[in-house]
C-alpha cells in the first residue's frame, strides 16, 4: 500500500509499505479521509519522535478485514477510527482524567513502524482493545466520510467547552478563528452560549460571523476590551477559550474576562514560552485558569451525535482537499495559511 512515512523533521516520503497484518482480535480499515491536525503538523516539523513513523489520526474509512475473534463488525462497514482509548481502571480514569491514562497516551493504531496513528496511509490496523472498548464508531448511511472525520476533533473541542462549564446565556471569547476556533463558535452556540471571536485575518473574522459568532474583532484592536465590555453590560466575558498559542492572546483574554470568570488553554504553546503573571490578579478577581488536552471517553457518544445528526455544520469548516501524495504541500499550506484556509482533508 501507499503511505506517507515520516523520515525526519520536515521529511515526508510517499512510498510503498506492507499492508498491516491483523491478529484475531484486530480490524483493518481502508482509509477514505483523514483530517490534517495541528498535532500532526507539530510531529512532522519538530524533533519530537524518532522516525520512521506514519502519523494521522482523524480517520474515517471502510472495514477491509476483521480478525477471526472480532464480534459485531464486518467487512464493508463504514467507521470512524478513534486512536485513543483509556484503560478505564487506573487512578486517572477513575477520576475522569482519561487523557492522562498511560494506555490512552500510548497510541496503538498503526499503518506500520512505531504505532503513531496510521491515518496517512491507505490502510490502518486497529488493535483489539480499541475495537472492543468503543474505538470504532459506525458511520450512518447519510453521513459522508468527510463529515465523519470530524468526530474526534469535535470530541476534543466539546471536552474543552464542557470542562469550562459554559452555560446557556453565557458569553465566550474565542481567540483565533481557524478551524478549531470556528468549531468552538459552533459548539458554544450548540450549548446555548454566545460566541465572540478574534483573529488577525479579515476573512477569518467574517467567516466567524458566518458560522454563528455574535461578534468578531481584529485581535490587534487596541479597544478590544472596551468593545467587549460594551457587549457584556460592562462585565466582560464569562469564559475565554485560547485557540491560539499566543501570550498576547492570553493577556487580552485576561483583560476581557469578568471577575469570577474562566480562561481555558486549548492550544498547545511552545515549551520555551513562559507567561509572567501577578497571582494577585487571579486571586482578587477569582479567575480560574484551566487546561484541556485531547478528547474525553465520556463524550464519544455525544460527539458522534453532534456530527451524525448535523448539530453543527462541519462542511463549512473544510477549505482544502489534497491527495495523500501531496501531504507535504498540505502541511505547508496549514503552516502558512492563506486568507481562505481552514480545515484541510487528506485522501489516500
Q: How confident is the model at residue 129 (pLDDT cuts 50, 70, 90)?
A: very high
Q: What is the mean pLDDT of residues 331-338?
A: 95
For 129, the enclosing helix (H) or strand (E) is: helix 128-132
The residues that bridge with 136 in the sheet, in sequence order, are: 81
Cell for 2? 501507499
- Per residue in 225-234, pLDDT (tens digit) is 999 999 999 9
Residues 320 and 64: their CA atoms lie apart, in Å, by 27
Residue with cell 459506525: 138
Q: How confident is the model at residue 91 (pLDDT cuts 50, 70, 90)?
A: very high
Plot region of 169 (φ>0 → left; ψ -120 to 50 → alpha; else → beta): left
Residue whose grid cell is 473574522:
205
Average pLDDT (274-291) is 97
Q: For the chain, how many residues are written?
A: 348
**pLDDT given at position 121:** 98
Closest CA to 137 of 293, 19, 346, 308: 308
Residues 6+ apart with CB under 8 A from 142: none
The model carries a pTM of 0.96
pLDDT of residue 39: 94
Each residue of 9-40: pLDDT tens digit?
999 999 999 999 999 999 999 999 999 999 99
For residues 170 and 31, what is the distance between their CA atoms, to the nearest angstrom? Answer: 39
Q: What is the pLDDT of residues 308-319, one digit of tens each?
A: 999 999 999 999
pLDDT of residue 114: 96
Q: What is the pLDDT of residue 225?
A: 97
**Phi and psi for 297 in degrees, rounded to 5?**
-55, -35
Q: Give the DSSP H/E element, type plus range, for residue 281.
A: helix 279-285
Burial environment of residue 15 by CB neighbours within 10 A (0 to 12, 13 to 18, 19 or more):
exposed
pLDDT for the residue numbered 201: 96
In the chain, % helix, strand, coil (3-state, to 5) comes to 35, 25, 40
pLDDT tens track for 238-277: 999 999 999 999 999 999 999 999 999 999 998 899 999 9
Q: For position 331, what pLDDT does the model report? A: 98
> In the chain, what percentage of residues exceed pLDDT 90?
99
Mean pLDDT of the chain: 97
- Grid cell listed for 174: 474565542
> What pLDDT digit, counting tens, does each position of 155-201 carry?
999 999 999 999 999 999 999 999 999 999 999 999 999 999 999 99
Amino acid at each position: 500500500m501507499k503511505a506517507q512515512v515520516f523520515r525526519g523533521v520536515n521529511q515526508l516520503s510517499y512510498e510503498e509499505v506492507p499492508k498491516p497484518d491483523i491478529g484475531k482480535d484486530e480490524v483493518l480499515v481502508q482509509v477514505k479521509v483523514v483530517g490534517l491536525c495541528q498535532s500532526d503538523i507539530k510531529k512532522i516539523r519538530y524533533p519530537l519522535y524518532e522516525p520512521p513513523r506514519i502519523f494521522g489520526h482523524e480517520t474515517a474509512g471502510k472495514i477491509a478485514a476483521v480478525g477471526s475473534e472480532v464480534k459485531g463488525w464486518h467487512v464493508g462497514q463504514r467507521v470512524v477510527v478513534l486512536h485513543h482509548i483509556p484503560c478505564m481502571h487506573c487512578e486517572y480514569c477513575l477520576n475522569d482524567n482519561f487523557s492522562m491514562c498511560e494506555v490512552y497516551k500510548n497510541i496503538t493504531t498503526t499503518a506500520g513502524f512505531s504505532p503513531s496513528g496510521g491515518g496517512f496511509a491507505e490502510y490502518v490496523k486497529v488493535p483489539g482493545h480499541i475495537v472492543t472498548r468503543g474505538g470504532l464508531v459506525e458511520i450512518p448511511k447519510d453521513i459522508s466520510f468527510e463529515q465523519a472525520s470530524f468526530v474526534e476533533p469535535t470530541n476534543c473541542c466539546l471536552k474543552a467547552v464542557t470542562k469550562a462549564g459554559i452555560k446557556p446565556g453565557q458569553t465566550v471569547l474565542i481567540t483565533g478563528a481557524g478551524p478549531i476556533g470556528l468549531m468552538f463558535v459552533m459548539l458554544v452556540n450548540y450549548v446555548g452560549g454566545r460566541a465572540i471571536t478574534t483573529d488577525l485575518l479579515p476573512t477569518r473574522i467574517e467567516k466567524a460571523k458566518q458560522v454563528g459568532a455574535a461578534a468578531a474583532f481584529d485581535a490587534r484592536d487596541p479597544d478590544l476590551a472596551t468593545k467587549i465590555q460594551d457587549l457584556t453590560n460592562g462585565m466582560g466575558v464569562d469564559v475565554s477559550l485560547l485557540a491560539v498559542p499566543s501570550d498576547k492572546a492570553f493577556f487580552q483574554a485576561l483583560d476581557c474576562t469578568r471577575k469570577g470568570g474562566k480562561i481555558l488553554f486549548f492550544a498547545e504553546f511552545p515549551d520555551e514560552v513562559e507567561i509572567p503573571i501577578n497571582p494577585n490578579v487571579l486571586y482578587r478577581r477569582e479567575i480560574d485558569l484551566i487546561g484541556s488536552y485531547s478528547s474525553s471517553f465520556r463524550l464519544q457518544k455525544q460527539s458522534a451525535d453532534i456530527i451524525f445528526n448535523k448539530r453543527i455544520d462541519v462542511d463549512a469548516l473544510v477549505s482544502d482537499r489534497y491527495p495523500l501524495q501531496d501531504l507535504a504541500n498540505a502541511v505547508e499550506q496549514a503552516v502558512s495559511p492563506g486568507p481562505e484556509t481552514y480545515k484541510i482533508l487528506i485522501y489516500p
